[in-house]
Structure 1
């Protein structure tokens, strides 16, 4: 199914996009106010175009329609959402140990919401390259009190748990978490797919090859953007086959996971290819090594400006989830982008 992909190009925004759609020279792009005028047609390794959308052969129209159809919201509010990161870990690559104590994490989450976060993502296992593996009970000891405290303090704010383990998923869902965010795309724990098939939560499938301990060995691609989309498509198919409704699924391209800095840049440049999957998109690029490579900034905590610049490249989707450490700067960036391109 994923052999054929359409890459949208030639974007217009706001009133110009609507006028171009009326004139028949552009097509609307999913849930946004944007429109695209040209495309590349990618069939395996064969590429045709760029060509105007009106010249696309009839045999490609079903594939093209994927880029036009509105994407389900996965049970979350509409529009772009800033997702604040709460890592209750001692060894994450950024903010290590700052939220390890439940009280600290709960206070930080409340501040993130005041700063503009629409939801919070809580993690108890570091997935940085080479991170140590911990047991599911250890992971739950870290995130359980944070989830329970935030659920009481912020009853109306959607919560996500960043985990690969079905034990943590099940306990988190029982305590009111609305989204499961799995860096392994439900491959790591055999119990994850059947568990989530019986739930109604949102599910984030992230692209990664191997594990955090081995992923650097798998960063070999002919066309990183197309291969990421196709491999994520296979995980979407597996989730749907297991009984998880497609409308609940979201996809994350997995910046920094089994990808070199150069591959991350190419993936970011062509990230709108993810529209082929018909799922809400999660962008988790905050403070990552590729931003350091592009800016020369070695301290991850000083990479927030670069994070905003990179994350805004997801805004044409209309309803991305932007997962960041610094909520204030990202919320400002979203408002500026909306003011320029949507009004």
Structure 2
């Protein structure tokens, strides 16, 4: 299976170069394949009123007791709403999850996941916060309760494999959905994951899940993709995927990159505690921005937004002054 993999560039744009995945500040030189060039360069559809011509920050708001990095931090309703208020100035999207999908995590009953998430979403909307909200869930009933409470997007780490009825719901409600690659379930996914070609296999899996979503009536312009860094992958698998991020633009859809505070950052950067991985998380986020990642899913929204603003300002100056 062959996929186009453009070389992302920033700075002054030469004649004949095309925007990469609709980005303002990232470009590539197309080859002779006009169809591939169109897929790689076409602007991606707006997401809940947000243009995707630059990286958008998705702030993580876990209302769980056991998430790997922030478990328990926002489990109380008031704490979650307070954090959402802060995020309104620091993030473009708020991603709310009620079930940890960290390595080794066990499944949470549907009723408990709804109890954790739906009241938080209702309270955020009651507080007048209008920032788009995504519900991070694998389950149709949880997503339905969240959408009824005011969520706008479904973020499914299983890409409709865990609960195929979630695809029917997303099609019926006409909401954007993020389809992520994961190998195995959270409780076992890090037990010796193996691939012959991790990039090709992840791409092939995403193509198949996109096809499934389309067959259920989900419109292509409402699909976001995610290579699933850290989900059933070793450090070497993660690094290989990061080195080949631009290949995911060949799917012709927006790409979400979620790497914030993950274990490989601590391993390479020398930080055992997840909350000590800010520097490494920012480094990978900016690396992703320079390769046209449309959505960056992060814990540290203030620092990430600040870093992206500086990156964009410097790229604008480089492009203007050469």
Superposition TM-score, scaled by structure 2 size: 0.93
Mapped partners of 2:204, 2:232: distance in 1: 15
Distance 1:317 1:240, change over 3 A: farther
C-alpha deviation, 1:237, in angstroms: 1.2
Q: Say which structure, 1 or 2, has more relative contact order (CA 8 Å, 6+ apart).
A: 2
* Cα offsets for 1:265-285 (capped at 9, x unmatched): 111111111101111111111
Task: From 275, 278, 288, give the equivalent of 2:249.
Answer: 275
Q: Which residue of 1 aligns with 2:3?
A: 5
Q: Which residue of 1 aligns with 2:198?
A: 224
In structure 2, the partner of 1:170 is 144
Residues 135-158 of structure 1: CA deviation (Å, up to 9, x unaligned): 111101111111111112243210
Structure 1 residue 113: Cα displacement? 2.0
C-alpha separation in 2, matches of 1:198 and 1:170: 11
**Counterpart-to-counterpart distance in 1, 2:181 and 2:111:** 25
Structure 1 contact 160–180 (Cα < 8 Å) conserved = yes
Distance 1:303 1:319, change over 3 A: closer
Task: Determine which of 104, 109, 114 is the counterpart of 1:140.
Answer: 114
- Secondary structure, in 3 states, of the residue corresponding to 1:122? strand
Give 1:218 shift.
6.4
Match of 1:36 in 2: 28
Q: Check whether the contact 1:75–1:248 (CA below 8 A) recurs between aligned residues.
A: no
Alignment of 1:43-122 (within 5 A): 53-54=30-31, 56=32, 60-78=33-51, 79-114=54-89, 116-122=90-96
Query: Structure 1: which 5+ runs fail to align?
Result: 38-52
Per-residue deviation, 1:222: 2.0
Q: Does structure 1 retain, via aligned residues, the 8 Å contact 2:157–2:179?
A: yes
Once the two structures are overlaid, the 10-residue window that deviates more, 152-161 or 323-332, is 152-161
Q: Structure 1 pair 182/258, CA: closer, same or farther in 2 (3 Å)? A: same
Size of the aligned set, in residue pairs, is: 314
| 1:137-286 correspondence to structure 2 within 5 Å | 137-217=111-191, 219-286=193-260
* Superposition CA RMSD, Å: 1.6
CA distance in 1 between partners of 2:39 and 2:140 (Å): 31
**8 Å contact from structure 1 (residues 151, 176) kept in 2:** yes
1:251 deviates by: 0.8
TM-score, length basis structure 1: 0.87
Pick the structure with more strand per residue.
1
1:162 to partner: Cα distance: 0.4
Q: Aligned equivalents of 2:150 and 2:117: distance in 1?
A: 13
**Partners of 1:154 and 1:258 in 2: how far apart?**
38
8 Å CA contact 2:155, 2:179 repeated in 1: yes
**Distance between the aligned counterparts of 1:175 and 1:198, measured in 2?**
16
**Residue in structure 1 matched with residue 320 of structure 2 by the alignment:** none
Unmatched runs of 5 consecutive residues or more in structure 2:
318-322
Tell me, in whole angstroms, the C-alpha distance in 2 between the residues paired with 1:6 and 1:176.
Answer: 38
1:84-128: per-residue Cα shift (whole Å, max 9, x none)? Answer: 1111111110011111111111111111223x1122110000001
- Residues 262 and 170 of structure 1: CA distance in aligned 2, closer, same or farther (over 3 Å): same
